[in-house]
Structure 1
Amino acid sequence: MKRRLVHLARIQELDPERDYAEIYRLTALYEFSFDVSIALQLAFYRTYAVPSISGLLAHTGHIEHDPVKRAEDTGLLIFEMVEHGFDHPRARGALRITNGAHRPWTISNEDYLYVLGTFMFVPFRWLDRYGWRRPVEAERIAAYHFYRELGSRMGITDIPASWEKYEHWFDTYEREHFAHTPANTRLLRASQQLIADRFPPRARGLGRLLGLALLDVIDDEPLRRALGVPRTPWVLRGPVKLGFRLRARIQRLLKPRTSSAFTPGGQMKAYPDGYQLSDLGPATPRAPGSPE
C-alpha cells in the first residue's frame, strides 16, 4: 500500500497554492484518470440542466450533430492545459481555442462561473464516493487554484475567494437555475449516444441505459428532474453502483501509474490518426449571439 501512495506522498510535499498545477496534474492524470473522465461526462450533464446554457448548446448544434467531437475536444483542451501548465505553448494554444470558441456568443458571467465550477466540484464529489481513496485537502485547494487561474485567463470575473465559498455559490446557483426544457433532454440523449456507441450494435440499448445509470449512481434527483429522464431500473442501477465500488477496491491494490494518462496529439475516436491543436474546437458558428 505504501508504494500505491507514492503520488500522494509527493502531493503532500508540495504547496497547493504555489504548486497547484503539478498537484492537479498528479491528481487528474496519475491518481484518478479514469474517474476524472467519467466525472467530466457528468459535468456535461449538469450544464444541460440549466436552460440558459442548454439553450445555447442546442442552438449551436455542436453536441447534437457531432457529440463525439464536441465531448472529446472539450476534454482534450482541458487536459492539454493540465498536462503542460498554462505557460506551455500547447496550453496557450488550447486556451486560445477555448476562448475563440466562446467569443461569438453572449454568455453571462454567472453561466461561465457555473460551467467552470462543474469541472472542479463534480470530479471531487465523484471521488469522495467512488475513488480508490478520498482526495486530500491539498488536492482540493490545488484544483481551486488551477480553475481560478483558468477562469481568470478566460476573462471570468467574481470568482469566489476559496473552495468553500465557490462551492456554496455553485450549489445555490443550481437550486435557482435547474429547470427542465426539451433542449435539456435532447442534449442528454445525444451525449448518451457516446456511451452507447462503445457497445456492439445489438447491445447499444444497454449502453444508453448505462449512460442514464450514471445519473443514478450520484443519487441526484434535482438533476434528473431537470434533464427530464426517469430513474433506471434497480436491476441495472444497483450493479453499476456496486461495480464502481468494487473497482475502487481493486484500484487500491494496483501499482501507481508511472506515466501520464494523457498523450498530447494521441488517437481518439474523433481523431483515429491523432490530432493537431488546430483540429480542436467548433467549426464557424451559425450566427453570433445567444438563442432567441
Structure 2
Amino acid sequence: MKRFDFRDEIHRLDAEADCVRIMQILNSHEFPWDMGRALGIALYRTYAVPSIGGLLGRTNEFTGSTQKRYDDTALILGNMMRHGFGPGKGRDSLRRMNQMHRSYDIGNDDYRYVLSTFVVMPVRWLNDHGYGWRRLSDHEVSAITHYYRRLGKYMGIKDIPGTYEEFRDLLDSYEREHFAYTDAGRAVSDSTLDLMVTFYPPRVAGLARRFSMAILDDSLIEAFRYEPPSRAWRRSADLALKLRAKVVRRMRPREEPLWADMNPNIRSYPEGYDVDRIGTFPAGCPVAHDVDPVGHAELYGGDGGAAGGGTASGQGPAPASAEGRA
C-alpha cells in the first residue's frame, strides 16, 4: 500500500452519503493519534463553559471517577465511529449516550456547542496548527461535518449548523460569550490533566503536564486561571508536534485500523464491557435503561421506536431536573 492510497479512497467516496466510512479511515488509518488528541481537546474545552463544567463538577463523575469517564466517553464515541449508526454496537452506544444525556437538564445551545467542538478541533489541529502529516482536504472537512451533523440529528439537537464554517463561527462566538471561571470547571480540568499525566512514565510526568499546558490556547488558560506557559514551552511544544508530523509523513500507511478499544490508556474494563452497562446511571433516574430513547425514523421506522418514553419525534432529550436525577 502506498502512502496516499487511503486519501485517494476517501476522494472516491461521497462526502455526505459515505461520511461514516470516511471518518473510519481518517480516525483509524490516517490520523488515529491526532484525532484522539484533537477530540480530547474538544471535550476539554467544554469544561470552560460554566453550565457544562458546573454540571460535570457537581456530578463528581469527572473528578471522582475520571479514568472511567474517560474510558466510557472514548468507547461510546469510538463504537459509533467504528460500527456506524446501524444495528449493533454503534447504535447501542448511541442509545447509551442519549440515555445518559437525558438524565440531565442540558440546553440545546450547549449541545450545539459541544457538537461544534467535535467538528472544528480536528480541522484546527491538523490544518490550522499544522500538526497533521498532511492537510485535510475540503472534501474530508465536508465529510467530518456531515458525520457530526448526522450524529447531532440522532441526538435530537435542533438548529444544527449546515457547514463547517457555520460550526466554526458557532464555536468561536459561544466561547467568547460563555467562557468563564468556575470552581467546578477548574476541578474537572485539574482532574483531567492529572489523568493525562498517568499515561506517561512517572519520570516524565512533570514534563508531560507542562507540555499539555503548553498546547492550551490563551482562552482556556484564562478561563481556568492557570499560570500562562512560557513562550519557550509554547514554542517547544509546537515544534515537537510539527516535527512528529514530518516523521509520520515518511512512515508507511497504517494498514490495520487502530480503534478506541485498542488504546492501552483505557483501563476500566480489562475483562471487556457491555455497552448497555457503561456510563452513568444516576440514582432515581426515571429513564428506562432497557429501551431506546433515540427517536428517528431513519433508524427506527415511522414511530421512532421510542417505547417507554423515548423521543419519537426526534425533538431532543427530554429535560429532567438537575444532576441528582436522571
AA in 2 matched with 1:96: R
- Secondary structure (helix, strand or coil) at the match of 2:181 reads coil
Q: Which residue of 1 aligns with 2:2?
A: 3
Aligned ranges 1:204-215 → 2 under 5 Å:
204-215=205-216
Deviations 1:35-67, CA, capped at 9 Å, x for gaps: 011112211221011001111111111100111
What is the identity, as a one-letter code, of the residue corresponding to 1:273?
E
CA distance in 1, matches of 2:119, 2:76: 15
- How far apart in 1 are the matches of 2:155 and 2:208? 35
Matches within 5 A, 1:171-186: 171-186=172-187
Q: Which amino acid aligns with 1:27?
A: L
Question: Percent sequence identity over matched residues?
Answer: 38
Give 4+ residue runs of structure 1 displaced > 6 Å after superposition: none
Residue 117 of structure 2 corresponds to which residue in structure 1?
Answer: 118
Question: Offset of 1:22 from its aligned partner?
Answer: 0.8
SS at 1:3's partner residue? coil
Equivalent residue pairs, number: 287
1:248 to 245, 249, 254: 245
Aligned to 1:152: 153
Q: Distance in 2 between matches of 1:45 and 1:264?
A: 20
Alignment of 1:105-144 (within 5 A): 105-128=104-127, 129=129, 130-144=131-145
* AA of the residue aligned to 1:242: L
Which of 220, 223, 227 is the matching residue for 2:224?
A: 227
CA distance in 2, matches of 1:168, 1:35: 23
Q: Relative to 1, partners in 2 of residues 1:286 and 1:227: Cα closer, same or farther, differing over 3 Å?
A: farther
Q: For 1:79-129, what per-residue CA distance to the aligned partner results, in whole angstroms no more than 9, with x for missing partners?
A: 111111111311110011100111110010000111111111111110112
Q: Which residue of 2 aligns with 1:14?
A: 13
Q: How does 1:1-292 map to 2 (within 5 A)?
A: 3-128=2-127, 129=129, 130-201=131-202, 203-215=204-216, 220-262=217-259, 268-284=266-282, 289-290=321-322
Shift of 1:263: 6.0
Letter in 1 for 2:168: E
8 Å CA contact 1:60–1:286 kept in 2: the answer is no
Structure 1 residues 19-40: Cα deviation after superposition (integer angstroms, max 9, x where no partner): 1111111111111100011112
Using the TM superposition, name which of 47-56 and 157-166 deviates more: 157-166
CA contact (8 A) 2:56 2:185 kept: no
Quick one: structure 1 residues 166 and 240, their matched pair in 2 at CA, closer, same or farther if it must change by over 3 Å? closer
Q: How far apart, in 2, do the equivalents of 1:119 and 1:62 lie?
A: 21
SS at match of 1:243: helix
Cα distance change, pair 171–229 in 1 and its aligned pair in 2 (3 A): same
How far apart in 2 are the matches of 1:265 and 1:250?
23
Q: CA shift at 1:232, angstroms?
A: 2.1
The worse-fitting range, judged by mean Cα deviation, of 242-251 and 256-265 is: 256-265
State the Cα distance separating 1:170 from its structure 2 match. 2.0
The DSSP-based 3-state class of the residue aligned with 2:3 is helix
C-alpha distance in structure 1 between counterparts of 2:263 and 2:135, whole Å: 30
Distance 2:17 2:201 in 1: 47
Aligned-residue RMSD, C-alpha: 2.1
Q: Distance in 1 between matches of 2:94 and 2:279?
A: 11
Q: Secondary structure at the match of 1:4?
A: coil
Structure 1 regions of 5+ residues with no counterpart? none
Q: Which TM-score applies when normalising by structure 1?
A: 0.91
Larger radius of gyration: 2
Find the aligned partners of 2:224 and 2:263 in 1 and give their Cα distance.
33
Residue 13 of structure 1 aligns to a residue in which SS?
Answer: coil
CA–CA distance in structure 2, aligned partners of residues 285 and 145 of structure 1: 36
